[in-house]
């Protein structure tokens, strides 16, 4: 299964291809989940083109597309929320209260209906993947969570459905995000291990972007690293030209 919110792009196609290499048949879900949007204006402007999405699914030989309505997913009287603590609390959880409850709830419902052997997610949403892995493990769901590498455009920007909203000047400014991650990688390769030093390098590259967070943390817990010799993940979220973008890179 490849769960999506539609507005499919090359990154989604790579997830579909990966799923096809794993399983005999592939289900793609297309559902813009209102529960994970705290800002109604963000939900209203989220890109959607179901006809194009279906064309892409046909072209990639997807076996089944499930595109339920909001009323079907959350009928009148729906009163259940799934909440994952720990890894959901910082970063996206702090800046988007209730977001991961919405993610956990919809993923649980998608899994319970489709019942896939494997679900494929993209590494760009690092914290979301951590939440879904914890959810799957804690509830004993017999589903393997496969994580595909982040797909980037020719200029290094991580592919996202939100990128279509970037005007050319804003897109140019947004390139500071992947540039900051490359700088962190280069510093790591040169021997820099301190989270604070790495964060300073990232912040310098991000410059005057509207940064929500730029942190170097433990990739398993998303908390402060206790040993500089341990691996790390760099997590960045910034708003550019009114568009909120996230990205990450794992070090070590």
Task: Report d(CA 22, CA 26) in Å as an integer.
Answer: 9
Main-chain dihedrals φ then ψ at residue 27, nearest 5 degrees: -110, 130
Which of 99, 43, 36, 33 has its CA nearest to residue 72? 33
| DSSP H/E element including 53 | helix 50-59
Give Cα separations from 252 to 129, 133, 225 (angstroms).
Answer: 19, 21, 13
Q: Which of 12, 94, 95, 154 is catalytic?
A: 12
Active-site residue flag, 95? no
Which of 40, 137, 42 has its CA nearest to residue 87? 137
Residue 32 in 3-state DSSP? coil
User: In sequence order, which residues have a C-beta less than 8 Å from that of residue 185 and are 6 or more positions away?
Assistant: 249, 251
| CA dihedral of 138, 25, 30, 219, whole degrees rounded to 10 | 40
Active-site positions?
12
């Amino acid at each position: 299964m490849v769960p999506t919110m539609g507005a499919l792009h090359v990154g989604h196609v790579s997830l579909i291809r990966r799923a096809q290499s794993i399983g005999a048949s592939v289900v793609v879900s297309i559902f813009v989940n209102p529960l994970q949007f705290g800002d109604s204006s963000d939900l209203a402007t989220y890109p959607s083109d179901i006809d194009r999405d279906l064309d892409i699914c046909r072209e990639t030989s997807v076996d089944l597309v499930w595109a339920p309505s909001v009323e079907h997913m959350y009928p009148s009287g729906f009163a259940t929320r799934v909440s994952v603590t720990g890894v959901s609390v910082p970063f996206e959880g702090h800046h988007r209260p209730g977001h991961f409850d919405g993610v956990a709830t919809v993923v649980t419902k998608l899994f319970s209906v489709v019942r896939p052997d494997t679900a494929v997610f993209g590494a760009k949403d690092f914290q979301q993947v951590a939440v879904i892995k914890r959810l799957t493990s804690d509830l004993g769901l017999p589903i393997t969570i496969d994580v595909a590498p982040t797909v980037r455009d020719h200029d290094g920007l991580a592919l996202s459905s939100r990128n279509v909203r970037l005007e050319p000047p804003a897109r140019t400014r947004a390139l500071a995000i992947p540039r900051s991650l490359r700088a962190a990688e280069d510093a790591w390769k040169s021997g820099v291990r301190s989270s604070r030093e790495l964060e300073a390098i990232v912040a310098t590259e991000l410059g005057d972007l509207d940064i929500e967070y730029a942190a170097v943390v433990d990739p398993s817990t998303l908390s402060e690293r206790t040993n500089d010799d341990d691996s790390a993940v760099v997590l960045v979220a910034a708003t550019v030209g009114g568009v909120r973008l996230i990205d990450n890179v794992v070090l070590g």
